[in-house]
Chains A and B, each alone.
Chain A
Amino acid sequence: MQLLNTALGGLTLGMVYAAFALALVMIWRSTRIVNFAQAPMAMMTTFIALSVIEAGHSYWLGFAAALVSGVVLGAVLERVVVRPVEGGSDINAVILTLGLFVVLHALAGVIFGNRFRSFPAPFGVRGFEVGDRTIGLTGFGVFTILVVLVVMALLVALFRFTDLGLRMRAAAFDQEVARLLGVRVGRMLTLGWALASLVGSLSGLLIAGGNLVHPAYMDSVVVFGFVAAVLGGLDSPTGAVVGGLLLGLSLSFVSGYVGSQLVPLAALGVLMLVLLLRPGGLMGQAPTRRV
């Protein structure tokens, strides 16, 4: 029984990490930057949703508000702040996104306050009853799983089957050549960040549902989302989902059977294992070494 519940919990959690990892993968593919600020971006949009909901509107309006603000936030940040460091040295990009992390965190504290507030979860928070037992899967959990799968499918379709996706991939692969071929590279980069931020906002909402939110609530997801993305391969959206699931399941088992405080350590272990054995991740390509 506990085994089943742990597995179900891991599945739901894994899907959330998968969503976040998807956002990271998208930004990596389009701009070759790991966006450490993705988590606070998602946190901000979730707080915007919460403000809408607390003002009396329905959950779904808040949901939509979060997604829209995510798109706007991603686009604005890319255009204004991130553009200057794209293509430059790694250190600068890392420091920049970390700086954004700190700024967004603090901004949320100033605007929304530091209180712990509860966030609704539609579709119910009671576990489903199977016979006379209750299993640890709620309506909201099912919703989470379905939404992430749908989003992943949409993204794969976008990249593989549409013209826009092709242009985005070209812009990510080689900016100069893409420009020569008529691709509006700048637009594609902004679009990449906007879409990624949309997905990130979604994951923020899914994590928040049925939980307490506060400006630091997404902080652990930075680490876990990153590990999931690397696990699956920073280049691969499918990898992100697979990585997220694997990570969610393993962390849930560690939490349930070993100790919940050791979960970050387990994540670190998984990360190091993957990076040392398969630096490209499970489904990505290993970076070739230039000599």
Chain B
Amino acid sequence: MNRMHRMSGLSAAMLATTMVLAACGAGGRDDDDDGGGDGGSTVGVTDDTITVGAHFPLTGVAAPGYSEIPTGAQAYFDFVNAAGGVHGRTIDYVVKDDAYNPTNTSKVTNELVLKDEIFAMVGGLGTPTHSAVVDFLNEEGVPDLFVSSGSLQWGDAVDDRPVTFGWQPDYEIEGKIIGQYVAENMPDAKVGLFLQDDDFGADAEKGVRQFLDEQVVEVQRYTSGNTDVGPQISALQASGADLVLAFTTPSHTALSQLVSLKLGFKPQWYVSNVGSDPDLVGSLLTRFSEGDVEGSSGSLDGVLTTQYIPGVDAPDNPWVQLWQKVWDEYGEDGPLTNYRIYGMSHAYAFVQALQAAGEDLTREGLVEAVEGFAEDAPGPQLAPYRYSADSHLGISGLQVVRIEKGVGEPLTPVLTSDIGDTEITEDTSGQADDAPPESGIPE
């Protein structure tokens, strides 16, 4: 009897001790860090630093390619910091890995917002991943800028998500633009769709079907956790599709190409810009077949894709020259790649926003600054931004290109559109002809 009392007393003590020990590192109650009481929230901002953060798949199936984006952004931030920062504040960029798993995204975002106390999230990557945290960020009022994904939900419902902004052209207009191109140039093609099984694929399908509804003969989906795409490609082959529009991440582009080789399936491919980097896909493919399939110079030859910022295949473009310079001075090991350029491009946009928000930096001020981005704000993008108080969708257009020996040969001029029924028109703003400022830092 005594022993039982003692054991339960012991366990009660252990229970209490466990809890107290666990909370020991807490450091007391958190003060609401509101800083400038009347101007707005200045969490994450001090007199000489701004802390921003993002979640990226640094490991996992989506890591090839995407894990390079934050390295580009970091290099550009280092470049800006070396020149004195923005209004005297240097940018502190915290990146956390979520392995493209929405549960992890939720966890690391909690850390970023509650522990690291970031001022804003810049470029959080992934449609399924960021969806898991977008409501939380909006509730907490953390500016959620330039999400690295083309889903519509970052910009089409400003009332529900007032602090979230997209950046790249959304998947629906991408679908519309390629859909229209196919309808005009390949009206007899039997079209198969190969889609990622989430908003990425769903938004793209919506855009494509506006023009190609009657031409679609087969739709297949994959989940990013599953690397076996044999059944889907088999089904596409069986349907007789001779043009496949693939909205896939780089790993799955490589896998689908490989399986198609195995099955002898040779349609005309279109691959979404998120997964069509020839160098990356090529490097994945070369190894598979022990050189049977050539590297970047041959891997995606003849494949159609779209483009909205200049890439490494255009080394004479003044923006690319700027990126190369920044990478050479501040980048880590490895060459400049299109993913790193993506990172630098949206880092550039963020610095523009910081400049516009002024010295008295608050979260609310930052959001207003982005909404007020002039349509012709200079930047590497080929088409103008669409930001306003009613829309937080980003770049408004793209160019259809065909990949030849790793270089994208333009097939159309820059075409712009918007979600829904908006027509597709040729861009006349001259955005594509912008050159970067001398210093490389926005004014």
A116 within 8 A of B: yes
B12 within 8 A of A: no
A114 within 8 A of B: yes
A265 within 8 A of B: no
Bitwise interface map of B from 62 to 74 toward A, beta carbon under 8 Å scored 1, else 0? 0110010000000
B103 within 8 A of A: no
Report whether A260 and B64 are in contact in the complex, using a CB–CB cutoff of 8 Å: no
Bitwise interface map of A from 86 to 113 toward B, beta carbon under 8 Å scored 1, else 0? 0000000000000000000000010001
Report whether A125 and B64 are in contact in the complex, using a CB–CB cutoff of 8 Å: no
Task: Name the CB-closest residue of B to A5.
Answer: B234
Contact (A256, B60) CB under 8 Å given A5-B263, A118-B287, A120-B289: no
Contact (A125, B234) CB under 8 Å given A133-B264, A134-B263, A211-B227: no
B238 within 8 A of A: yes
Bitwise interface map of B from 274 to 310 toward A, beta carbon under 8 Å scored 1, else 0? 0000000000111111101100000000000000000
Contact (A116, B290) CB under 8 Å given A5-B263, A126-B262, A134-B263: no
Report whether B262 and A127 are in contact in the complex, using a CB–CB cutoff of 8 Å: yes
A212 within 8 A of B: yes
Tell me the smallest distance from the CB of A46 to a CB of chain B, in Å: 14
Report whether B287 and A124 are in contact in the complex, using a CB–CB cutoff of 8 Å: no
Task: Name the CB-closest residue of B to A136.
Answer: B263
Which residues on B sit within 8 Å (CB–CB) of A119? 287-288
Bitwise interface map of B from 248 to 285 toward A, beta carbon under 8 Å scored 1, else 0? 00010011001001111100000000000000000011
Tell me the smallest distance from the CB of B298 to a CB of chain A, in Å: 14
Tell me the smallest distance from the CB of A254 to a CB of chain B, in Å: 10
Tell me the smallest distance from the CB of B102 to a CB of chain A, in Å: 17
A121 within 8 A of B: yes
Report whether B258 and A125 are in contact in the complex, using a CB–CB cutoff of 8 Å: yes
Report whether B228 and A260 are in contact in the complex, using a CB–CB cutoff of 8 Å: yes
B61 within 8 A of A: yes
Tell me the smallest distance from the CB of A212 to a CB of chain B, in Å: 6
B235 within 8 A of A: yes
B226 within 8 A of A: yes
Which residues on B sit within 8 Å (CB–CB) of A261? 223, 226
Report whether A121 and B289 are in contact in the complex, using a CB–CB cutoff of 8 Å: yes
Tell me the smallest distance from the CB of A253 to a CB of chain B, in Å: 10
Which residues on B sit within 8 Å (CB–CB) of A288? none
Tell me the smallest distance from the CB of A52 to a CB of chain B, in Å: 13
Which residues on A sit within 8 Å (CB–CB) of B230? 9, 136, 255-256
A210 within 8 A of B: yes
Report whether B288 and A210 are in contact in the complex, using a CB–CB cutoff of 8 Å: yes
Binding site of B, secondary structure by majority: helix, strand, loop or mixed? helix
Tell me the smallest distance from the CB of B292 to a CB of chain A, in Å: 6
- Alpha-carbon distance between A145 and B399 when the two chains are bound, in angstroms: 47
Task: Name the CB-closest residue of B to A120.
Answer: B290
Task: Name the CB-closest residue of B to A130.
Answer: B264
Report whether B292 and A126 are in contact in the complex, using a CB–CB cutoff of 8 Å: yes
Binding site of A, secondary structure by majority: helix, strand, loop or mixed? mixed
- Alpha-carbon distance between A260 and B222 when the two chains are bound, in angstroms: 9
B59 within 8 A of A: yes
Tell me the smallest distance from the CB of B325 to a CB of chain A, in Å: 28
Tell me the smallest distance from the CB of A145 to a CB of chain B, in Å: 15
Of listed A125, A138, A256, residue having the most chain B CB within 10 A: A125
Of listed B63, B230, B284, B286, residue having the most chain A CB within 10 A: B230
Which residues on A sit within 8 Å (CB–CB) of B223? 261
Which residues on B sit within 8 Å (CB–CB) of A5? 234, 263
Report whether A116 and B63 are in contact in the complex, using a CB–CB cutoff of 8 Å: yes
| Cβ-neighbour of A134 out of B59, B232, B264 (below 8 A) | B264
Task: Name the CB-closest residue of A to B225.
Answer: A261
B231 within 8 A of A: yes
Of listed B58, B254, B289, B293, residue having the most chain A CB within 10 A: B289
- Alpha-carbon distance between A111 and B217 when the two chains are bound, in angstroms: 46
Which residues on A sit within 8 Å (CB–CB) of B59? 109, 113-115
Chain A, range 236-272, C-beta contacts under 8 Å to B? 255-256, 260-261
| Cβ-neighbour of B255 out of A1, A2, A9, A212 (below 8 A) | A212
Tell me the smallest distance from the CB of A71 to a CB of chain B, in Å: 25
Which residues on B sit within 8 Å (CB–CB) of A133? 264
Task: Name the CB-closest residue of A to B64.
Answer: A116
Report whether A125 and B288 are in contact in the complex, using a CB–CB cutoff of 8 Å: yes
Task: Name the CB-closest residue of B to A141.
Answer: B262
Task: Name the CB-closest residue of B to A255.
Answer: B231
Tell me the smallest distance from the CB of B234 to a CB of chain A, in Å: 5
Which residues on B sit within 8 Å (CB–CB) of A211? 227, 288
Report whether A125 and B261 are in contact in the complex, using a CB–CB cutoff of 8 Å: yes
6 A-B residue pairs with Cβ-Cβ distance under 8 Å, sorted by A, are: A114-B99, A116-B251, A124-B289, A126-B292, A134-B264, A212-B251
Residues of A within 8 A of B (CB): 1-2, 5-6, 9, 59, 109, 113-122, 124-127, 129, 133-134, 136, 138, 210-212, 214, 217, 255-256, 260-261
Other than the given A126-B261, A138-B262, A214-B60, 18 more pairs (CB < 8 A) read A1-B238, A2-B237, A9-B230, A113-B59, A114-B60, A114-B99, A116-B63, A118-B288, A119-B287, A121-B288, A124-B292, A125-B292, A125-B293, A127-B261, A127-B262, A212-B284, A260-B231, A260-B232
